[in-house]
Chains A and B, each alone.
Chain A
Amino acid sequence: MSTAELRIRQRRGALALAGRETRRVLSLWTQTILPPVLTAMLFLAVFGGALGARIRHIEGLPYVSFILPGLLVMTVAGQAFANAATSLFQAKNEGYIEDVLTAPLRPWQLAASYLSGGLLRGLLAALIVAAGSVPFAHEGARPELAALALVLTGLVFSSLGVITGVWAETFDQHAFIANIVITPLALVGGVFYSARTLGQPWATLTRLDPIYYLVDATRAGLTGVHESPVWISLGLLAAVAAIVFSVVTAVIARGWRLKA
């Protein structure tokens, strides 16, 4: 078999696995899409509707408009992570990952295929929330900037999800990362407040949280308001995404916790 033919077969294989992952997301939509959309909508309803009138504007924005970008980032991050981690953990735990591991796919193709489901789940949920939030849109918004930040969010957290899925040997370990690392990072990443309003050391701690930059860049895209230089944030986040993806590829290539 020629190298070109092998490449074609590998490409088809990767697309098939990505198709399987995206199909899983869509067929389980009551578990994968509906809950995060409802959660984000409830956040908007509670903070925007019930409490929003009592909270002063932040950075010149109505509170609901201020928190919307962060909620989108939280949705993408949480769902991208959960999907990639759960799907890989299930495949590994139930043993059917061997079907994929015996296939002639290159490690980066395996990684990208598993990432695709997380990316779809996170972005689809965020898109629905965003569509429902059109009334809070601002003039002069640059949605392409927000879209880029959300895609980077999906890439980073899907990759972390794949690493967690590979690492976790029990469901508790899998849940531990989601509950103890991802959720707290999202909550202290400047979703609900501006880092500029915080005293020290909280302002600095917030700025050490990578999610802060994702939220800030998304907010810049949706509202024009931001606290850090947007293109530097996006550049750094692209670098983080590339590094995390390289780690995922290396982990799969080595067969760590996947192969005996």
Chain B
Amino acid sequence: MDLDRSSQALLVDRLTKVYDDGTRALDELELRIPAGCFFGLLGPNGAGKTTLIGVASGLVRAAPGHVFVFGHDAVGDLAARLLVGVAPQEVHLDRFLTAHEVLSYHGRYFGMGKLEARERADELLEAFDLAAKAETKPNKLSGGMRRRLLIARALVHRPRLAILDEPTAGVDLELRHELWRYLRRLHSEQGLTVLLTTHYIEEAEALCERVAFIRSGRIAAEGTPTELTDRFGGQRLEDAYLEAMRA
């Protein structure tokens, strides 16, 4: 079982999460994301996507022993945090810091040395076309820039698993395609495992090697886009998704 756990970027084993108000967000959820995979998680609002991401990244309380990141217990072992980089759905950036500092402080919170964190921040600002805004505070950046800075922040400490929670929600078509370009590059050049949640089926179809449909806190189906289309019928992943949600 341990070998199995460490071969998976993310292994979720019968994870249940019930919030204080009684909402059952996750219901014995099972999921495996192979290392190096670009993985899409699709589901309607309230299906449990953000809760699952929260547990994997330490933002949501859960019992230990159900979520493993490269074999490390995501709840009980703080070393797991070093392996995960998360870009949450909402863009929250420290307004007391400049764009460069947002990145360098993040690296230092994750244990990088000062110089190493600065150099990594320079590198990512360049990669995300934000170098000209290095000394600008987040509240002075455009929405697209803030979104890119948030994704860059998730990558500063060189995680092996990047979790991007609806990174293109509410952004215009042009920026969405720009972000896709960044995400593809991240995956192909750095061999990063990517977990992407999205409401845009075409986005998952364009980017993801494997996709899971989540409904009411459980995985309803999982496979490559082709496998899912074959299984549920229809021409496109969207048809398979709608069929799976109806089933």
Contacts and interface: CB of A to CB of B under 8 A. Distances in A.
A78 interface: no
- Of A94, A100, A102, most B-chain CB atoms within 10 Å: A102
Interface string A98-123: 11111111100000000000000000
A1 B109 contact: no
B109 A100 contact: yes
A154 B227 CA distance: 62
A13 B54 contact: no
Interface string B110-153: 11110000000000000000000000000000000000000001
Interface stretch (A4-12, A68-76, A195-203, A212-220): A4-12
Interface stretch (A16-24, A52-60, A164-172, A173-181): A16-24
Q: How many residues of B sit at the interface, in one of the four size bands? A: 20 to 34
Nearest to A10: B111
B93 interface: yes
Given A101-B58, A102-B59, A13 B95 contact: no
Interface string A55-98: 00000000000000000000000000000000000010011101
Contacts of A102: 57-59, 81, 84, 86
A101 B84 CA distance: 12
Contact of B19 (A100, A255, A260): A260
A94 B95 contact: yes
B61 interface: yes
A9 B111 contact: yes
A31 interface: no
B94 interface: yes
Given A6-B79, A260-B54, A12 B111 contact: yes
Contacts of A23: 96
A22 to B, nearest CB: 12
B92 interface: yes
A10 B108 CA distance: 9
Contacts of A10: 78, 111
Contact of B92 (A9, A12, A95, A255): A95
Contacts of B105: 16, 20, 99
B90 interface: yes
A18 to B, nearest CB: 11
A99 B109 contact: yes
Given A27-B96, A101-B58, A255-B61, A106 B78 contact: yes
A250 to B, nearest CB: 14
Given A6-B78, A102-B58, A255-B61, A12 B94 contact: no
A4 to B, nearest CB: 12
A1 B95 contact: no
The DSSP consensus for interface residues of chain B is loop
Chain A, interface size category, equals 20 to 34
Contacts of A8: 111
A23 B98 CA distance: 13
Centre residue among A10, A94, A254 by max chain B CB count within 10 A: A10
Most buried by B among A23, A255, A260: A260
B110 A9 contact: yes
Contacts of A91: 94
A24 B78 contact: no
A101 B55 CA distance: 12
Contacts of A100: 109
A12 B19 CA distance: 33
Nearest to B154: A102
Contacts of A259: 54, 58-61
Given A1-B79, A98-B59, A105 B109 contact: yes
8 tightest A-B contacts by CB?
A9-B111, A95-B92, A16-B108, A104-B81, A103-B109, A104-B78, A96-B94, A96-B92
Interface of B: 19, 51, 54, 57-61, 78-79, 81-82, 84, 86, 88, 90, 92-97, 105-106, 108-113, 153
Given A12-B111, A101-B58, 16 more contacts: A6-B79, A17-B109, A20-B94, A20-B105, A95-B90, A96-B93, A99-B105, A100-B109, A101-B59, A102-B81, A103-B110, A105-B109, A254-B61, A260-B19, A260-B51, A260-B54
